[in-house]
């Protein structure tokens, strides 16, 4: 108990308070102490419990925390140190101090330092070597023989590489692989390189022979000849590529010296005569389509395969196109003339026109082209306004490119930005400043003596308001008016208030 200063009476101190040294007032129990209704003085909290200043009792901490040293609060660890980048844990926070926490890195990172740390408080932990996560990289391709890439190392975890095999090898498995770490990569099917081999001579070359024993590896040079009395034309040495494919400059061919099996390809002629033909047989020929006969005989005599003779060999000159058809009006090309028969010419339209149909034509002769009816240039127009909210116009569509179109906003709106736009192509316009339409509002009541208007301002365009007169006045005119803008309203008869005494 304590005695008041006027010595009038003694009083008891309440919960969490004790008499001071002079017993003239009550002092609050300090943190870590308590005092209930049965006690005179404050006492320390039992071990494992805490109290704050002025507490009437002590409390236990939740299971995920412990009492601090002065028993004034509960402390816990709230999470991993935020300065530890890319470090994760499966521990559920908060946890009491002293708890050991296992840590690991995000995928694509490698942990160095302690893999377990001990909670101190908040986000502070004890460790011997601080945990550190470093980003994984790949230093080179996986150890797969003959595998190559154009990528430059090192590369980061998750980067995707395109791989291929050295010349002479075929890639089996995935062409794209993903970096994991060091020389480890992720793939569905491991890429491997299988050496190419040739298993036999090309089957499409009849009567070809060789002394080489098959199979042979890619790049092997094979000497060939012809069976029996057949004569070899073309390369006598061919190089293995893969399977039955070989590399050569002029394809080898075995011919019967007493027959001709085809016309000379460099004469650009054709015939309906059946082949092969015997030596000394005359063959009537014509120039191929796209070629014009200029000189020489169109009768050839077989000497040996693909070799024919005549007093004057025929000269078949390829047809050309000297220019585009005229008039072609709005079409142009970047092609250099003349162009040969069969060559494709790409067309484009001059500004203000749009291509319709295929933009290519094929040379026939002179100014004549195949599929001339396919492309056409149509005058480019704008068929409507651009997609800008609320704008409108009195222009009649379509309008041609270059036309200036005046635009406005609907009634009850205010325009900002360009009021004139220029057609570039359909629904595409040149606009200096994007136009916007903002709805008008009324900011105040109608300015008329003695009128009352019950409304909230600002009021949007079109809103209707009932008008009344102040006491002692009678309304003449419209009792309902419509917001236009500012303090302007529309009505049938202008409302006015007339004194009821008149």
What is the largest distance, in Å, between two alpha-carbon atoms of the chain?
155
2 pLDDT above the threshold of 80: no
Which pLDDT score is estimated for 138? 94
Tally of residues, the chain: 502
**Count of C-beta atoms within a 10 Å radius of residue 382:** 24
CA distances from 346 to 40, 335, 355 (A): 107, 7, 11
136 pLDDT above the threshold of 90: yes
Q: Name all domains of the chain by residue range, CATH numbers in brackets.
A: 87-135 (2.10.70), 137-195 (2.10.70.10), 197-255 (2.10.70.10), 259-318 (2.10.70.10), 320-379 (2.10.70.10), 381-439 (2.10.70.10), 441-499 (2.10.70.10)
User: Burial of 191 by CB count in 10 Å (0-12 exposed, 13-18 middle, 19+ buried)?
Assistant: buried
Q: Assign 414 a pLDDT band (cuts: 50, 70, 90).
A: confident
Report, as an integer, the average pLDDT of 274-296: 92
β-partners of residue 61 are: none
User: Burial of 162 by CB count in 10 Å (0-12 exposed, 13-18 middle, 19+ buried)?
Assistant: exposed
Distance CA 198, CA 73 (A): 84
pTM as predicted: 0.45
Distance CA 491, CA 493 (A): 6
With beta carbons less than 8 A apart as the criterion, state whether 267 and 260 touch.
no
Report, as an integer, the average pLDDT of 213-219: 93
User: Burial of 463 by CB count in 10 Å (0-12 exposed, 13-18 middle, 19+ buried)?
Assistant: middle
Decide: helix, strand or coil at residue 424.
Answer: strand
Phi-psi region of 117 (alpha: psi -120 to 50; beta: other; left: phi over 0): beta
Residue 267 φ then ψ, to 5°: -90, -15
Which pLDDT score is estimated for 330? 67
Distance CA 215, CA 141 (A): 31
Decide: helix, strand or coil at residue 112.
Answer: strand
237 pLDDT above the threshold of 90: yes
Q: 294-313: per-residue pLDDT in tens?
A: 999 999 999 877 688 888 99
Q: 379-406: per-residue pLDDT in tens?
A: 888 888 888 778 888 888 888 888 899 9
CA distances from 196 to 78, 169, 244 (A): 62, 5, 11
Report, as an integer, the average pLDDT of 54-63: 81
8 pLDDT above the threshold of 60: no
**What is the residue-averaged pLDDT of the chain?**
87
Specify the pairing of strand 225-226 against strand 208-209: antiparallel
Host H or E run for residue 165: strand 160-165
352 secondary structure, DSSP code: T
Specify the pairing of strand 116-121 against strand 231-233: unpaired
101 pLDDT above the threshold of 90: yes
1 pLDDT above the threshold of 60: no
- The gap from C-alpha 26 to its chain's centroid, in whole angstroms, comes to 73
Distance CA 467, CA 475 (A): 8
Distance CA 15, CA 28 (A): 9
Sole residue written with tokens 């409302």: 495
**Count of C-beta atoms within a 10 Å radius of residue 307:** 15
Specify the pairing of strand 360-365 against strand 368-370: antiparallel
Which pLDDT score is estimated for 239? 95
The sign of the torsion formed by the CA atoms of 203, 205, 206, 208 equals negative
283 pLDDT above the threshold of 90: yes
The sign of the torsion formed by the CA atoms of 125, 131, 134, 138 equals negative
Residue in 247, 268, 277 with CA at minimum distance from that of residue 318: 268
Sole residue written with tokens 């089996």: 172
Of 3-12, 42-51, 244-253, 359-368, the least confident: 3-12
Which pLDDT score is estimated for 54? 67
Which pLDDT score is estimated for 6? 52
The sign of the torsion formed by the CA atoms of 120, 124, 130, 134 equals positive
With beta carbons less than 8 A apart as the criterion, state whether 427 and 405 touch.
no
Report, as an integer, the average pLDDT of 204-220: 93
Distance CA 210, CA 239 (A): 13
């Amino acid at each position: 108990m304590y005695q008041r200063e006027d010595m009038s009476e003694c009083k008891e101190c309440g919960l969490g308070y004790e008499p001071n040294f002079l017993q003239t007032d009550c002092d609050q129990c300090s943190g870590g102490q308590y005092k209930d209704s049965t006690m005179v003085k404050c006492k320390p909290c039992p071990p494992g419990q805490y109290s704050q200043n002025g507490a009437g009792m002590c409390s236990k901490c939740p299971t995920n925390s412990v009492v601090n040293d002065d028993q004034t609060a509960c402390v816990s660890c709230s999470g991993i140190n935020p300065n530890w980048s890319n470090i994760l844990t499966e521990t559920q926070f908060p946890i009491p101090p002293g708890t050991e926490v296992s840590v690991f890195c995000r995928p694509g990172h490698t942990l160095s330092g302690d893999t377990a740390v001990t909670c101190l408080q908040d986000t502070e932990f004890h460790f011997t070597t601080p945990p550190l996560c470093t980003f994984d990289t790949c230093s080179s391709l996986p150890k797969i023989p003959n595998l190559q890439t154009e990528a430059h190392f090192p590369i980061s975890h998750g980067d995707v590489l395109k791989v291929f095999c050295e010349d002479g090898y075929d890639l089996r498995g995935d062409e794209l692989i993903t970096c994991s770490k060091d020389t480890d990569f992720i793939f569905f099917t491991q890429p491997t390189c299988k050496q190419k081999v040739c298993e036999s001579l090309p089957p499409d070359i009849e009567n070809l022979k060789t002394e080489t024993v098959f199979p042979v590896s890619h790049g092997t040079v094979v000497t060939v000849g012809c069976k029996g009395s057949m004569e070899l034309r073309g390369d006598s040495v061919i190089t293995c590529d893969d399977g039955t494919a070989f590399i050569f400059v002029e394809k080898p061919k075995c011919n019967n010296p007493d027959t001709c099996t085809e016309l000379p390809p460099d004469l650009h002629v054709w015939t309906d005569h059946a082949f092969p033909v015997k030596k000394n047989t005359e063959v009537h020929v014509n120039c191929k389509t796209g070629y014009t006969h200029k000189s020489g005989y169109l009768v050839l005599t077989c000497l040996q395969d693909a070799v024919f003779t005549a007093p004057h060999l025929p000269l078949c000159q390829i047809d050309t196109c000297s220019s585009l058809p005229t008039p072609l009006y709005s079409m142009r090309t970047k092609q250099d003339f003349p162009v040969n028969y069969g060559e494709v010419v790409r067309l484009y339209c001059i500004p203000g026109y749009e291509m319709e149909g295929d933009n290519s034509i094929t040379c026939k002769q002179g100014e004549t082209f195949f599929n001339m009816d396919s492309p056409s240039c149509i005058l480019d127009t704008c068929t409507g306004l651009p997609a800008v909210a609320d704008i409108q116009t009195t222009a009649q569509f379509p309008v041609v490119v270059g036309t200036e179109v005046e635009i406005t906003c609907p009634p009850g709106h205010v325009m900002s930005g360009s009021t004139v736009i220029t057609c570039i192509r359909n629904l595409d316009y040149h606009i200096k400043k994007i136009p916007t339409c903002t709805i008008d509002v009324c900011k105040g009541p109608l300015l008329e003596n003695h009128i009352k208007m019950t409304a909230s301002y600002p009021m949007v365009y079109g809103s209707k308001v009932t008008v009344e007169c102040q006491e002692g006045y009678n309304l003449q005119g419209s009792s309902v008016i419509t917001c236009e803008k500012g303090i302007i309203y529309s009505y049938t008869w202008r409302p006015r208030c007339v004194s009821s005494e008149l």
